[in-house]
Amino acid sequence: MADLKQQIIAQLNLKDLKPEDIGDDQPLFVEGLGLDSIDALELIVLLQQEYKIKLASAEEGQHVFRSVRTMAQYITEHQPKTV
């Protein structure tokens, strides 16, 4: 999850944050890290670029982007398997 936190920081240009500043279960949006809808688009791009994962629907995003842990779980479950 530390790698994922680092990728989020880089993608969203959260210069003042370090991976350890982001709690595994801390909400990413609104009352947590305070991310917004543009950040959600950036996170969708991150999933596609880094993990080759496309979200099935917008509704799915609400659950996937709840916290770093939910993102990591989704990546683990959906990452294309390498032979």
Partner 1 sequence: MFIQATAGISPQPSFSALLTEPAVYAGNRLNCIEPDYGQIIDPKMIRRMSRIIKMGVAAAMDCLKTSATEMPGAIITGTAYGCLADTEVFLSKMVENREELLTPTAFIQSTHNTVGAQIALLLKCHNYNNTFVHRGFSFESALLDAITLLQEQHALTVLVGGIDELTDTSFRLLSRFGLYKKDISSNRALYDGAAKGTIAGEGAAFFLLSAEPSGKDYAQLNGLYTFYKPGDIAEIEKNIQSFLSAHGIGVNDVDLVITGQNGNVNEDGIYKQLAQTTFKGKACARFKHLCGEYPTAASFALWLAANIIKTGVVPSCTSVSSDNKRPGRILIYNHYQNTHHALYLLSVC
Taking CB under 8 A as the binding criterion, the range among 23-31, 42-50, 61-69, 73-81 that sits at the site for partner 1 is 42-50
Based on the shown chain and the rule CB under 8 A, indicate whether residue 15 belongs to the binding site for partner 1. Answer: yes
Burial class (CB in 10 A: 0-12, 13-18, 19+), 40: middle
Q: How far apart are the first and last CA of the chain?
A: 23
Q: Shortest approach of partner 1 to residue 40 CB, angstroms?
A: 9
Based on the shown chain and the rule CB under 8 A, indicate whether residue 10 belongs to the binding site for partner 1. Answer: no
Calculate the CA 12 to chain-centre distance. 10
Enumerate binding residues for partner 1 (CB under 8 A).
Answer: 11-16, 34, 38, 41-42, 45, 48-49
